[in-house]
Amino acid sequence: MRATRKTSCCMQGSGVIQLEGPLVLVCHDAGAANLALSWIEALQLAHPLECRAVLQGPAAALAANFQLDIQTFVETASALRGASLLISGTGWASVLEHQARALAYAGGVHSIAVLDHWVNYRDRFARNGQVVLPDEIWVADHDAHTLATRQFPDVKIVLQSNLYLQRQLREIGPPPTIGEVLYLLEPARSDWGRQIPGEFQALDYFMQHSSRAGIPVGTPVRLRPHPSDAPGKYDRWLREHTGAATLAPPAPLAADLDRATWVAGCETAALAIAIAAGRRTVCTLPPWAPPCRLPQQELIHLQKLVPTTQ
């Protein structure tokens, strides 16, 4: 189901947005939140716009990174009262955004959903058998636009400028000649039939075969946890692999990428930022895992460099 009421919304040139308020932002996961907050920041810097926000999970701490004038709400229903527009994330770790789209549909509020990745598009709009599609889907790159257009032929798909990526690239310098490996961790949400979480399998596979990707033996490896990772998740692994890697202290992604020559991980969207920043970027999914779904052609797939006998 989709809402039908429209609000004033138009596109200009390379993605400058003009919207009517009050606008409500509802996000849980970090990826869509970073994109949406970047767009709202640009909007408010251009002209006054009332913005209300319901931010939970990893998204809750991100608003402080932007120049924003927002009113925070605890309940989505209260935030949507009298609103003209909803912008919601499409994360997997919460029902918050799904419920916001359902409330917008019921209240006739124009609904925009932000897709920040390239996988599981249809599943993002379903919970317990209920599918709630928005009036529009916003994406930030051509690959996502192509994928979303194919999967949602009846929904308006809008390609916006990736202001978040532009901001990150301004803060990242050229790759160091002799730097470190930044390993971008993320939950795999599967053990691939091996009774070990997939993210640990991929990490072990990388540590065993990293030289196949041209990474010199002895290159320092720093592990950057995913925003949804629980504190201490990798402590046991680090104890069992003393000296193999260190845990990166909390820092902005751009700061971690700035000191890295190589970047590795499974399918996190941050790999695309690493590629754009000129880092040699490696997908660490082992050969027994499902195929990597990231569309970036520059991505190096470690399993293709390792002989099958290994």
The pLDDT value recorded for residue 227 is 87
**Is 272 in the same domain as 175?**
yes
The boundaries of the domain holding residue 138 are 9-169
**199 and 112 assigned to the same domain:** no
- 111 plus 199 within the same structural domain: no
Shared-domain flag, residues 89 and 222: no
Length of the chain: 310
147 plus 258 within the same structural domain = no
Q: Are residues 137 and 208 in the same domain?
A: no
Domain of 16, CATH number, reads 3.40.50.2000
For residues 137 and 199, state if they share a domain: no
Among 169, 186, 218, give the residue marking a domain's end: 169
193 φψ region: left (φ > 0), alpha (ψ -120 to 50), beta (else): left
State the number of CA atoms in the 13 A half-sphere of 45 facing the CB. 9
Instruction: Name the CA dihedral angle for 287, 288, 291, 297, rounded to a multiple of 10 degrees.
Output: -20
Residue 3 inside a domain? The answer is: no
Q: Closest Cα partner for 178 from 281, 260, 263, 243? A: 260
Task: Verify that 113 and 141 share a domain, yes or no.
Answer: yes
pLDDT computed for residue 308 by the predictor: 80
∠ CA 269-274-279, nearest 5°, is 150
Question: For residue 186, which phi and psi values (nearest 5 degrees)?
Answer: -165, 150
Q: Are residues 240 and 118 in the same domain?
A: no
Domain end, chosen from 169, 197, 225, is at 169
Question: What tens-digit pLDDT sequence spans the chain (310 residues)?
Answer: 544 333 333 333 344 456 777 999 999 999 999 999 999 999 999 888 999 999 999 999 999 999 999 999 999 999 999 999 999 999 988 999 999 999 999 999 999 999 999 999 999 999 999 999 999 999 999 999 999 999 999 999 999 999 999 999 999 999 998 889 999 999 999 999 999 999 999 999 999 999 999 999 999 999 999 988 999 999 999 999 999 999 999 999 999 999 999 999 999 999 999 999 999 999 999 999 999 999 999 999 999 999 886 5
Across 119-153, b (16+ Cβ under 10 Å) vs e yields eebeebbebeeeebbbbbbbbbbeebbebbeeebe
Residue 280 lies in a domain: yes
Phi and psi at residue 24, to the nearest 5°: -115, 125
Alpha helices for 241-309 (secondary structure H): 253-258, 270-276
User: Do 27 and 164 share a domain, yes or no?
Assistant: yes
Do 145 and 244 reside in the same domain of the chain? no
**Last residue in a domain, options 105, 140, 169:** 169
Q: Which of 296, 289, 243 is nearest to 118 (CA)?
A: 296
Number of domain units in the chain: 2
Looking at residue 72, its amino acid is T
| Residue 36 included in any domain | yes
Q: Are 81 and 108 in contact (CB under 8 A)?
A: no
Query: Do 66 and 139 belong to one domain?
Result: yes
The answer as to whether 4 is a domain residue is no
Q: What is the pLDDT of residue 1?
A: 54
**Which tokens belong to 300?**
């190096």
Q: What pLDDT, on the 0 to 100 scale, is given for residue 17?
A: 59
Contact criterion met (CB below 8 Å) for 58 and 29: yes
Cβ–Cβ < 8 Å for 56, 89: no
2 domain residue, yes or no: no
In a domain, 60, yes or no: yes
**Angle of the 163-170 helix axis to the 30-46 helix axis, nearest 10:** 90
Q: Look at residue 164 and tell me if it is in a domain.
A: yes
